[in-house]
Amino acid sequence: MAGWSVRDIPGQDGRVAVVTGANSGLGYVVARELARRGARVVLACRSERRGSEALARLGAEVPGARAEMRRLDLADLGSVREFAGGLPYGHVDLLVNNAGVMALPYGTTADGFETQFGTNHLGHFALTGLLLPALFAAPGARVVTVSSPLHALANVDLRDPHATRRYHRWTAYARSKSANLLFTHELARRLAEHAPDVVAAAAHPGYAATNLQTAGPSAEGRRAVVWLVRGANRLFAQPVEAGALPVLYAATAPGVRPDSFTGPSFAMWRGAPAPSWRAPWTLDDTMGERLWAASERMTGVTYEALNG
């Protein structure tokens, strides 16, 4: 992996890639670089306006890119079903579960789930399950789910998954990111038995300068916090293009192993893609099975092909 860069991305001609949250930040860079290498890219975005602006920008940066924007709100299972049912392609070679929210004040999704757990985990769990037939139809398909080093702050709490008893924004975020890794672990385990040609892997950007860190305080009008975060980003964060590299590596590099976790090489913070440390609980088979069963119950999306 040493020195791996976008120049090392293999050709993606003929491949269909779905990238959630592709209107900005990591998702946009991932979509742009996949399109640059020839993939047909679907920018899955909650805001049609911002998604359309991103699509126009991508077209300007990558002339001739085969890209389109489709609306997807991961905080609304109806939108997830509509998106999955409306894809006009018989196969999906790459699904990048990138979109997410961070450290928001307490709220709930359209379906009554705590916002961070519902968006970051349950929305992507449902999307992946609904796209499973299309992934099975693509030889060598991959599902890459974006987590965070901050997953290490807390494990999933299935006794109170929606934090109805007690809510702390950073704990809730960490639990949703642990759920991303547990989902990847359990998905990889089931794919190994039923569809070994499909790879489920995870990645994280380290500390990358995106608008994710400021979205929560900005929505609450906490200007001083926004100012401090932006200052920290300028001083300490790596550029978003560098943060996207571990995701692109997991999505495209030959030989990526199922259930691998790729991040920046230096202290999980910055640098070239490298294997990343993860909390032991994200490799717990029993917890993975419990989260899987609970996610199927909550979303109503069952992975029948992988449940045998």
Q: What φ, ψ does residue 284 adopt, rounded to 5°?
A: -85, 110
**Ordered alpha helix ranges (H), the chain:** 25-36, 48-61, 77-86, 115-116, 124-130, 132-136, 169-194, 212-219, 223-236, 240-243, 245-252, 285-299
Strands 270-275 and 261-266: antiparallel
CB 61 within 8 A of CB 85: no
Neighbours of 90 (CB within 10 A): 10
CA–CA distance, 10 with 249 (Å, rounded to integer): 10
The active-site residue, picked from 106, 167, 173, 249, is 173
CA–CA distance, 118 with 110 (Å, rounded to integer): 9
CA–CA distance, 281 with 283 (Å, rounded to integer): 5
Strands 261-266 and 199-203: parallel
Angle (CA) 156 157 162, round 5° = 105
- Known catalytic residue: 249? no
- C-alpha atoms less than 13 angstroms from C-alpha of 185 in its C-beta half-sphere: 22
Q: What residues are annotated to the active site?
A: 173
